Structure 1
Amino acid sequence: MRINILIASSQIKTNYKQMKKINILAIGFLAYLAIDGPAYAQKKPVATKKPAATTAKKTNGTLIPNDPNVKIGKLANGLTYYIRKNSEPKNRAELYLATRIGSLMEEDNQQGLAHFTEHMAFNGTKDFPKNEMINYLQKAGVRFGADLNAYTGFDQTVYQLPIPTDSAELFKTGFKILANWAGKVIMEGDEIDKERGVIIEEDRQRGKNAQERISKQLLPLLLKGSRYENRLPIGKIDILQSFTHDKIKSFYKDWYRPNLQSVIAVGDFDVNEVEQLIKANFSDLTNPASPRPRLKYDLPDNKEPLVKIITDPEQPYNVAMMMYKQRGSTATSTTADYKKQLMYSMINSMIGARFQEILQKGTAPFLFAQSTYGPYQGGLVSGINAFQTVVAAKSGAELEKSFTAALAENERISKFGFVQSEVDVTKKNILAGNEKQFKEKDKTPSSSFVQQYLNNFLTGSSIPSIDFKYAETQKAVASITLQEINALAKTLITRENQIIVVQAPEKDKATLPTEAQLVIALKNASNGVTAYVDNSVNKPLLETKPVAGKIVSETKIAAIGVTELTLSNGIKVLLKPTDFKNDQIIFSSFSKGGLSLAADADYESAQMVSIIPESGVGAFNPTQLNKLLAGNTGRAGAYVSDLYQGFSGSASPKDLETAFQMVYAYATNPRKDTEIFNKNISDYKVILENKDANPSSVFADTVQAVLSSYHKRGMPIKAADLNNVSLDKAYAFYKDRFADASEQTFVIVGAFDVTTIKPFIETYLASLPAAAKKQNYADNGVRPPNGKISKTVYKGLEDKAAVELYIHGDYIFNAENNIQLDALKAALEIKILERLREKESGVYSPQVGLSVEKYPNAHYYFNISFSCATANVDKLVAAALDEISKIKTNGATADDISKFKSEEQRQHELSLRNNNYWLSYLTNRLQNGDSLDQLLTDKQRLDAISVESTKASAQKYLTEDNYIRLVLMPQKK
């Protein structure tokens, strides 16, 4: 359970049209497994036992050398430091303070204070009283939450500070901030008391739901007899409300000490200068005269299976999980460790592919299934791994069958192993990824190195260089045999240390299998299993190469480094070559129409059009397509959105032709797969029939319905709607949308040469079918309601409310208005956080969103959202509206405007070196009919923002003429 703090300023975009997008295949059952984090806690050390299962023959290998490009040192007081010069991104550095302490170190009367201490590090230190640290960093363009952040786990607390290096003063201050966190937090009494409510609201926001109630029953089973069970990082509410100040001060004094701390600095700087900054800021920190020992904790073994069946009224799905616990370090320190981890990765990939293959069949015995080997419950307990299977069934009555079928796949692998073709596919994919990483080695972001160094400090994992990893991966993959893989696969299933867990809706309680039936299913899962048979299709992606078209015109847009091509079939292509990545090309396209052109009678079927490209292409279903493309980075797909249809894809330069071939295939030879389509619709019906058990789902449906004025095309899909869905209609709609490509516009960005890419464009894009029809999207009249709307939904069992406030209206969509709206949103975000969290202590992470759209009509939406105690809803809504009123009266403060401008400027600097930014920027400009060089005048528009301009904007756009208040409250008793 990772405790993340300071996420309040994340930029949430809320758009009622986006809310009704459906990802049919991403069911998300894992979100309902209740245990959602990396650690839990114990009572006393437990003696370890040897794993029950036999293991593959062990070879020691050789020690992996640390990357010579990282400077590792230790101060006299025991503090460890890692320093690396890295220029991606330029003029930026990642600064981290890692501490090997967490909730496991708490006394019984300190439960929750490790996490509370992390909060207090942002509420006043010796050199940065109160909120001065946050204010200082925001004025320098460091984003609160997105950049400045921290987390607390069971045995670690980590603070992160990405910071610019082009200001010497700011960069030096970054190390002072880290040192203040490390040993100079003040812990003022009034600040402690103010923070109590924030942390209690964090607990409410993350919990007070089915997952939390289920986890409280699961923890005694999953962490039985260990300290982890009683040391959740969030702590106990009664302690958080009542602990005396000396308890948290004592925790900080005992555990925040340099011999348990590390400073990590990676970025565009001078290594020797950074080393001196670390020595100057951290050398005076001292350890206690009699330091408390940092104990290690363990989990006990269990000979017989542990079984738990848990039901809850708000649990939407019938889910079973099987865990085979194993002892073993997760640290990688030798070449043998490295090879073994590669083999586990290959096994996970091959198991995943097998389950995906089953899930595509109409006869699939489960809604969802997955098996993986890795750290136990995502890393809950150090030194414990597990082979874990999760399966979701359509109903309680079918859960035993689904559970048995999933376990049978595990047994099939244990009994018969994999086949050589599966291993070959996985090897090709690993080698392709290894090649790509190696080619990008000089463009590796600093954040990637930070994680390596964190792992070294916290777990002892080695720090191999990119060159070493490349060579060792090539060597290991070449040496791995089918026999080695299958020998390791046989160790996954253990006959001891087994745990079975069922989570199910209360309404299905009577139909669930009993604990005894689940144990019998486990014992009998191997009965009747036979060896796997590969179903690869041995034919090319395209049977014949298309007849190429021509580039008929070429225009240079020198100001932004773009070349525009017009093709003989009418398609336009914008090319933006970059050097931001060495091995990345990305592209997307669009033309007008999309779902808006579906007839009302066919709309339900048209909404399912995404299943067509997700079913594969031509002769290849998704599994066969993945096998065909093994080792090839070229990928592309088709999409149909509300207003557009088009393609998107990516590739390494060497595989770009494959990506273009896929575009051609999806346009001209889509796959009509009855089995996959029907399986998706059947599964989706189950999801829709069960989702109303979840209060958040019910509330989201209400928000969507209200924001679309209950228009048919804006309403959430219901299970009954799926009865009207036809594969023939969905397929026909897809074919119609891609029958004429003449108005498609492609944007291609990345590591390519304009001359070299042109033959691919002529062959695969200029050859796309074109009828030269003039098309547009239809305005079907989906609009948010005018006037003041208030609606309360009563759903849920606990004291938890969710609030969504919207202020919206029509406006003139242009760059000048949009930047003023952005500034207004940023200022409001700061004030809502200060008022609702810091002053009222009534919320954890209030969010302020802004969404703007030009088509089908220009409209803006401001959204304020938060969760809180039910008794505080009216008070906090009034406080939020009061902050809006203040901005309308006075405008944004000069300080807040300064913070916004600094953040915008800093993010702009990073964006200009990012391929995804350019792809999005050029696409948006084209769709909205804006000038492509609009960004060249961004600074002038940014400079035009002032106190007066924000005041005028607030008075114009934050009116309550169109105001929507939506609240989720627990059901009335």
Structure 2
Amino acid sequence: MNKKINILGFGLVAVMALNAPAYAQKKTIVAKKPTATVVKKMEGTIIPNDPDVKIGKLSNGLTYYIRKNAEPKNRAELYLATSIGSLMEDDDQQGLAHFTEHMAFNGTKDFPKNEMINYLQKAGVRFGADLNAYTGFNQTVYQLPIPTDSVLVFKNGFKILANWAGKVIMEGEEIDKERGVIIEEDRQRGKNLQERTSKQLLPLLLNGSRYENRIPIGKIDILQSFTHDKIRNFYKDWYRPNLQAVIAVGDFDVNEVEQLIKASFSELTNPANPRPRLKYDLPDNKEPLVKIITDPEQTHNVAMIMYKQRGVTTKTTADYKRSLMYSMINSMLGARLQEMLQKGDAPFIFAQSNYGPYQGGLVTGINAFQTVVASTSGATLQKAFEAGLAENERISKFGFVAAELEVAKKNILAGNEKQFKEKDKTPSSNFVQQYLNNFLNGTIIPSIDFRYEETQKAIAAISLAEVNALAKTLTTKENQILIIQAPEKDKAGLPTEAQLVASLKSAGSAVTAYVDNSLNKPLLDKKPTAGKILSETKIADIDATQLTLSNGIKVLLKKTDFKNDQIIFSSFSKGGTSLANDSEFKSAQMVGLIAQNGVGEFNPTQLNKLLAGNTGRGGTYIGDLYQGFSGSASPKDLETSFQMLYVYATNPRSDAEIFNKKISDIKVGMANKNADPESVFSDTTQAVLSSYHKRAMPFNLEDLDEVSLDKAFAFYKDRFADASEQTFVIVGAFDMATIKPLIETYIASLPSLNKKQDYIDAGIRAPKGKVSKTVYKGLEDKASVELFIHGDYEFNAENNVHLDALKAALEIKLLERLREKESGVYSPSISLSVEKYPSAHYYFNISFSCSPANVEKLIAASLDEVNKIKVSGVSADDISKFKSEEQRQIELNLRNNNYWLNYITNRLKNGEDLGQLLKDQQRLDGISAESTKAAAQKYLGEDNYIRLVLLPEKK
């Protein structure tokens, strides 16, 4: 069970919480030198660009990056980056940079109205999932993943980029229709605790700078009333080739792509008198800036300290070495805080420290060292805050110890080696992000070979003294920001601003040096007595091999070459928490905490240190109906992952201090969770969908009082006492001769009692008939809607593909109706879930947020679109889109290890034919208007219909 902590000050702050992912990412700024501490410049050599990327510039100033990369095959990632965003807006244009991004999809010279989206969907490109864009303070970025095996489609991809770059039409009617969509985007992402908090934080975090007055979503009154010329002028002024870049990475010929770029973009021109592209700063503060924010919907007491510093753009090998040192510091300090969190007397329930971009990159060029803590109450927040500050002071006074640095180095080297081994399997999207950052922020783009060699060299050269010296620079005397966020009801017990500043000056005065607690022994004292492989069977349909082991376990092996350095596995057998009796059920539901206690003699901290530099990981899970194992490793570390699954099964760790601390922390979150409207609505949805069955209700404080470590531990041990019915699926770059002995040693040796087990059907079912429930919770003018159409059915591949087709059609129609026609929502979501066990059932879920005034109208519109499909079936156009998208996804899936792991596991769980995918195309070909009409009438009836609505509290 996860704790949900609302921390707006850490990482992505209020602005990011309001606007991500559509708006704020990776900003660009050049600022004056701050008074904060600046790390002494190291000497180094300039890092060269990767020679495999072709970088050029057209005569009109447009930059391009081109790289051939065959992963995934027959695909390319095309991006248009413009180095302008909301900071370029005039006072009467606030929000129009983001509005312009929307308009790029609503009609261009060569693709009027929505023809661009329509064309791409027929080519198998999904709107939202593939085709997308975002706007930030300093940039607007358009992304277009596209197939390359169709010459025309690929060529038209560059035509689309060029249309975005300089040929958006901005029709008045389309502008006016889009106003409501953007206002609803603001409502969906905002109108909540985060927005209220951000309005108080922004003046502090952005401190009177232009950033404060140019939040990308803009001002609602301007969005509702601006005249058409304002947005047309913004596009004319700023969308110009000398501020743009085209990025193309994929499975294509580089020279051909260069010619396509030249042909598509050379005609674009810059204005005769271009407006200057100004750069903006964030001012310093000598005295601490302090803000205490309380809110009725805040669920946790949180305190944060930030030390702003000038960032150094990595250009040289010395800069790169320093960046590795910062990574080590973050890793080592994080490990210390996690170690503290495991103790029963830990002063906080959450703690994290990090050095990196200020507020997740809110203002490029400024970094910050940030520490955030959460406490059990307002009265204990100051103590928790001082404990976090004390850890910062501890590293400043005493630094880290050699053993900690060794762990950090090993982990960096392991990641470096893995990246190097996968260099020819690196996804194109990874390269795109590097080139995008280079264009927008001037960051380096070294080759994988150079990065590998430089990392090896730098890690070997980094000394403990260097790291500790750098750690001393993290906390500064100026540019400090202190923030508290707390529930309104805890206001009286919170520390004052003066007390916070006093804590900042005095905390950590009595700290002592850290003592390392590493356990110097192997995970296993000795290898288990190996079992045997009794039989081996080839499964030709999926090119796999099945082994039957002496303890009854079956292992299905699929060797692939999709990744050079990846092996993944999972297993299952029937049972799960369904077998827990009523007296132990609550404890069984928390059984996942047992694996978090560590294993054998190793607590979690000691285990992480033991595994430093080793990619092998393995563990256990217990779900509702199944229990099993899962893990991953590089081929060289596969034995470690198998050892871990063996020891988690045979020697789990019972640690009362860790277990009880986790339960105590969960209680803190649960005590306030009903203050959060989304939490209340989610709990209501869960309860209604399960017909209020006692075994499916959300956890509450009374349930936690029933949880017992002894019962949870006993249930865990019982579930893994007999592995004879486990079925393992292993996928990846293994060597058959190497893996078989490991399977015999660690899997064939798992305990076996040869019992016949099954799960127990508790009878948890969705309610039959029509159900309607409205929840009144929340302060803002915002509604959330969840509609479910569901029913029993015959679970098979043919029915499932028809359900998929109906879901895809609903996605298209509801986007067109609710967003484009009604302008009533930003992004309606349509999901489909199907299950075979314990009872075959399907669920269509339509969800969206909107104005409370529009709830009834939009629900009626949604059901109207459902009814149209029932009357006429899915249109030929939409069937074509569905088939294209499915075919493209199948192509990608067949080259993906995770897909194969899930595909094989699910077929085995459901007792289906493993060769089912061989008939995927045949089933797709069977989709027609008539077949979807019949399916819609069968599956989209309103006999079983659930309507759930969240409305603000009545006043």
User: How does the TM-score come out when normalised to structure 1?
Assistant: 0.96
1:265 to 238, 242, 248: 248
> Which residue in the other structure is 1:765 paired with?
747
Structure-to-structure mapping, 1:597-616, within 5 angstroms: 597-616=579-598
1:36 to 7, 13, 16: 16
**Does structure 2 retain, via aligned residues, the 8 Å contact 1:339–1:476?**
yes
Q: What's the offset of the Cα at 1:573?
A: 0.1
Structure-to-structure mapping, 1:191-202, within 5 angstroms: 191-202=174-185
Find out whether 1:213 has 2:203 as its counterpart: no
Q: What's the offset of the Cα at 1:28?
A: 6.5
Q: What's the offset of the Cα at 1:50?
A: 3.8
Find out whether 1:138 has 2:128 as its counterpart: no
1:486 to 447, 450, 468: 468
**Does structure 1 retain, via aligned residues, the 8 Å contact 2:591–2:716?**
yes
Q: What's the offset of the Cα at 1:544?
A: 1.4
Structure-to-structure mapping, 1:594-743, within 5 angstroms: 594-743=576-725
> Would you identify which runs of 4 or more consecutive aligned residues in structure 1 move more than 4 Å?
26-33, 37-41
> Which residue in the other structure is 2:498 paired with?
516
**Does structure 2 retain, via aligned residues, the 8 Å contact 1:392–1:402?**
yes
**Does structure 2 retain, via aligned residues, the 8 Å contact 1:643–1:777?**
yes
> Which residue in the other structure is 1:315 paired with?
298
Distance in 1 separating the partners of 2:816 and 2:103: 16
Distance 1:213 1:29, change over 3 A: closer
* Counterpart secondary structure, 2:221: helix
Distance in 2 separating the partners of 1:417 and 1:722: 40
- Map Cα deviations across residues 82-126 of structure 1 (whole Å, 9 max, x no partner): 000000000000000000000000000000000000000000000
Say which is worse superposed, 27-36 or 215-224, in terms of deviation. Answer: 27-36
> Which residue in the other structure is 1:166 paired with?
149
Q: What's the offset of the Cα at 1:27?
A: 5.3
Q: What amino acid maps onto 2:745 in structure 1?
A: T
> Which residue in the other structure is 1:177 paired with?
160
Q: What's the offset of the Cα at 1:420?
A: 0.5
Distance in 2 separating the partners of 1:303 and 1:387: 16
Distance in 2 separating the partners of 1:520 and 1:719: 36
1:53 to 37, 44, 62: 37
Distance in 2 separating the partners of 1:160 and 1:47: 29
**Does structure 2 retain, via aligned residues, the 8 Å contact 1:40–1:223?**
no
- Map Cα deviations across residues 813-852 of structure 1 (whole Å, 9 max, x no partner): 0101000000011001110110000000000000001000
1:399 to 381, 395, 403: 381
* Counterpart secondary structure, 2:749: coil
**Does structure 2 retain, via aligned residues, the 8 Å contact 1:40–1:231?**
no
Distance in 2 separating the partners of 1:647 and 1:725: 24
Find out whether 1:248 has 2:231 as its counterpart: yes
**Does structure 2 retain, via aligned residues, the 8 Å contact 1:93–1:268?**
yes
> Which residue in the other structure is 1:346 paired with?
328
Q: What's the offset of the Cα at 1:34?
A: 2.9
Find out whether 1:356 has 2:338 as its counterpart: yes
Distance in 1 separating the partners of 2:706 and 2:15: 38
* Counterpart secondary structure, 2:619: strand
1:883 to 865, 882, 893: 865
* Counterpart secondary structure, 1:87: coil
> Which residue in the other structure is 1:157 paired with?
140
Q: What's the offset of the Cα at 1:143?
A: 0.7
**Does structure 2 retain, via aligned residues, the 8 Å contact 1:46–1:299?**
no
> Which residue in the other structure is 1:864 paired with?
846
1:67 to 29, 36, 50: 50
**Does structure 2 retain, via aligned residues, the 8 Å contact 1:40–1:381?**
no
* Counterpart secondary structure, 2:352: strand
**Does structure 1 retain, via aligned residues, the 8 Å contact 2:536–2:547?**
yes
Distance in 2 separating the partners of 1:596 and 1:728: 18
Structure 2 residues without counterparts, runs of 5 or longer? none
Distance in 2 separating the partners of 1:764 and 1:51: 59
Distance in 2 separating the partners of 1:35 and 1:366: 26
Q: What amino acid maps onto 2:261 in structure 1?
A: I
**Does structure 1 retain, via aligned residues, the 8 Å contact 2:632–2:641?**
yes
Q: What amino acid maps onto 1:52 in structure 2?
A: A
> Which residue in the other structure is 1:580 paired with?
562
* Counterpart secondary structure, 1:600: coil
Distance in 1 separating the partners of 2:645 and 2:34: 53
**Does structure 2 retain, via aligned residues, the 8 Å contact 1:203–1:234?**
yes
> Which residue in the other structure is 2:819 paired with?
837
**Does structure 1 retain, via aligned residues, the 8 Å contact 2:38–2:310?**
no
Q: What amino acid maps onto 2:432 in structure 1?
A: V
Q: What amino acid maps onto 2:151 in structure 1?
A: A
* Counterpart secondary structure, 2:934: helix
Find out whether 1:23 has 2:5 as its counterpart: no
1:939 to 915, 921, 936: 921
Q: What's the offset of the Cα at 1:760?
A: 0.1
Distance in 2 separating the partners of 1:809 and 1:478: 61
Structure-to-structure mapping, 1:804-815, within 5 angstroms: 804-815=786-797
Q: What's the offset of the Cα at 1:252?
A: 0.2
> Which residue in the other structure is 1:7 paired with?
none
Distance in 2 separating the partners of 1:54 and 1:944: 66
Q: What's the offset of the Cα at 1:328?
A: 2.0
Distance in 2 separating the partners of 1:621 and 1:23: 20
Q: What amino acid maps onto 1:78 in structure 2?
A: G
Find out whether 1:472 has 2:447 as its counterpart: no
**Does structure 1 retain, via aligned residues, the 8 Å contact 2:30–2:365?**
no
Q: What's the offset of the Cα at 1:54?
A: 5.3
1:748 to 710, 727, 730: 730
**Does structure 2 retain, via aligned residues, the 8 Å contact 1:805–1:863?**
yes
Distance in 1 separating the partners of 2:84 and 2:255: 29
Q: How much identity, in percent, do the aligned residues show?
A: 79
- Map Cα deviations across residues 186-218 of structure 1 (whole Å, 9 max, x no partner): 000000000000000000000111110010011
- Map Cα deviations across residues 432-465 of structure 1 (whole Å, 9 max, x no partner): 1111110000000100000110111001112100
Q: What's the offset of the Cα at 1:633?
A: 0.5
> Which residue in the other structure is 1:9 paired with?
none
Q: What's the offset of the Cα at 1:756?
A: 1.7
Find out whether 1:904 has 2:886 as its counterpart: yes
Q: What's the offset of the Cα at 1:59?
A: 1.5
* Counterpart secondary structure, 2:16: coil
- Map Cα deviations across residues 400-442 of structure 1 (whole Å, 9 max, x no partner): 0110001110111111100000000010011111111100000
1:102 to 82, 85, 95: 85
Structure 1 residues without counterparts, runs of 5 or longer? 1-21
Find out whether 1:189 has 2:172 as its counterpart: yes
Distance in 1 separating the partners of 2:30 and 2:435: 29
User: How does the TM-score come out when normalised to structure 2?
Assistant: 0.98
Find out whether 1:373 has 2:355 as its counterpart: yes
* Counterpart secondary structure, 1:601: coil
Distance in 2 separating the partners of 1:321 and 1:397: 16
1:334 to 316, 325, 339: 316
Distance in 2 separating the partners of 1:720 and 1:31: 32
Find out whether 1:784 has 2:766 as its counterpart: yes
Q: What's the offset of the Cα at 1:771?
A: 0.3
1:388 to 353, 360, 370: 370
Distance in 2 separating the partners of 1:337 and 1:691: 44
> Which residue in the other structure is 1:4 paired with?
none
Find out whether 1:128 has 2:111 as its counterpart: yes
Q: What's the offset of the Cα at 1:736?
A: 0.4
> Which residue in the other structure is 1:19 paired with?
none
> Which residue in the other structure is 1:553 paired with?
535
**Does structure 1 retain, via aligned residues, the 8 Å contact 2:38–2:309?**
no
2:486 to 471, 481, 504: 504
CA RMSD, 1 decimal: 1.3
Count of aligned positions = 947
2:221 to 235, 238, 259: 238
Distance in 1 separating the partners of 2:788 and 2:168: 39
> Which residue in the other structure is 1:18 paired with?
none
> Which residue in the other structure is 2:444 paired with?
462
Q: What amino acid maps onto 1:91 in structure 2?
A: N
Q: What amino acid maps onto 1:232 in structure 2?
A: I
* Counterpart secondary structure, 1:624: helix
Q: What amino acid maps onto 1:107 in structure 2?
A: D
Q: What's the offset of the Cα at 1:52?
A: 2.7
Structure-to-structure mapping, 1:111-122, within 5 angstroms: 111-122=94-105
Q: What's the offset of the Cα at 1:30?
A: 5.8
Distance in 1 separating the partners of 2:124 and 2:654: 51
